[in-house]
Structure 1
């Protein structure tokens, strides 16, 4: 569990700077420059991500079961992750009304993804991993909305066709991940098989 926790600190730490230290981040950006700052941020995040994967894998060898979720939770989690993929996609499709209305769909997608996985899994490592991401997403969304208010950022109205594109691409990505990639990358097949 130590490797997993270290990975979470290294991954979520840089992603939390805007939540807890926006003035420091701005100062470092000016001092280092944008490219070196992003390079350092990315390097630490990638190391953290690798440690999360490794640490979670190690924790699954010696599972500590906290509860046994009902089978229905897997179905609910599948539905929630579908919406999560649509939200994640909406963060990158320009001029869509999902982003215009929700403002930070990627963070909301992470929030849904983490919550869904907490519903469907009952090991201690799951609680640590997905609980950490859920807590981060709640705090980051609040901080992002506060920055929007302070800077009077407007996201416009959004358009129908880009919204449809976000939903279709998000659904296709979810299907690819749920039916193939999740088993290949994570070792668990959400729909059996």
Structure 2
């Protein structure tokens, strides 16, 4: 076993995530695929690359940094529920502040999860990465999940700067949103999304042994 396949998979992962976020390329892709098509294509590519790089990390040489403790597995399970809820409440929702979903139709008076965090999907990624960094104490997974966590945190900062450069409209919408509590646009839809987040969490627990080869249960 060598480090080369893991390094190549990691570089390819970051390239496929960084290039579509560039304004010119993103605009061209959205024009050719449409907003929904762009989101679906980007999501499919992200999932494929994520599976590839996780598999490559599992094949890399094993060098332990810290042992896994029982409490780490309990905390990871609980934290992953929060990450799944963030994804369920944010996916496909209008969000003029972050990358990905449509921005049209956003109501600052009923911002939902966007009032809690402007970047719920990046927060979910940072939470997922941080939890898995904690519970996987070897060099390859530390590089993998530590990089994901830094990527997500840096992404929130980079997107905020990019949105601010687009003009004062960003700040006006942000100030309008901050004047309201995080009420959802539709309470019934929000409840269904929460149920979907719990279902996603349970599905990931059930599928983890087959997909990753390790049970997440303590």
TM tier, smaller: 0.7 to 0.9
Measured in 2, the distance between the counterparts of 1:28 and 1:173 equals 29
Structure with the bigger percentage of helix = 1
Please give the root-mean-square deviation of Cα atoms over the aligned residues, in Å.
3.2
Are the structure 2 counterparts of residues 46 and 89 from structure 1 closer, same or farther at C-alpha, using a change threshold of 3 Å?
closer
Are the structure 2 counterparts of residues 27 and 111 from structure 1 closer, same or farther at C-alpha, using a change threshold of 3 Å?
closer
Q: Which range moved further: 65-74 or 130-139?
A: 65-74
8 Å contact kept, 1:114–1:133: yes
Secondary structure of the equivalent of 1:64?
Answer: coil
Where structure 1 has 5 or more consecutive residues not aligned to the other structure, the ranges are none
8 Å contact kept, 1:82–1:171: yes
Deviations 1:150-179 (A, max 9, x none): 34343755414333333221111101111x
Matched, 1:182 2:184: no
Are the structure 2 counterparts of residues 42 and 96 from structure 1 closer, same or farther at C-alpha, using a change threshold of 3 Å?
closer
Matched, 1:136 2:138: no
Measured in 2, the distance between the counterparts of 1:121 and 1:49 equals 16
Measured in 2, the distance between the counterparts of 1:182 and 1:122 equals 18
Q: Report the counterpart of residue 26 of structure 1 in structure 2.
A: 24
Are the structure 2 counterparts of residues 9 and 102 from structure 1 closer, same or farther at C-alpha, using a change threshold of 3 Å?
same
Measured in 1, the distance between the counterparts of 2:14 and 2:203 equals 26
Measured in 2, the distance between the counterparts of 1:82 and 1:142 equals 25
Quote how far apart the aligned CAs of 1:138 are. Answer: 0.9
Equivalent runs, 1:56-75 vs 2, <5 Å: 56-59=57-60, 62-75=61-74
Quote how far apart the aligned CAs of 1:129 are. Answer: 1.1
Q: Which range moved further: 6-15 or 41-50?
A: 41-50
When normalised by structure 2's length, the TM-score is 0.70
8 Å contact kept, 2:19–2:25: no
Instruction: Return the match for 1:10 from 9, 12, 17.
Output: 12
When normalised by structure 1's length, the TM-score is 0.77
Measured in 2, the distance between the counterparts of 1:91 and 1:45 equals 17
8 Å contact kept, 1:107–1:140: yes
Secondary structure of the equivalent of 1:16?
Answer: helix
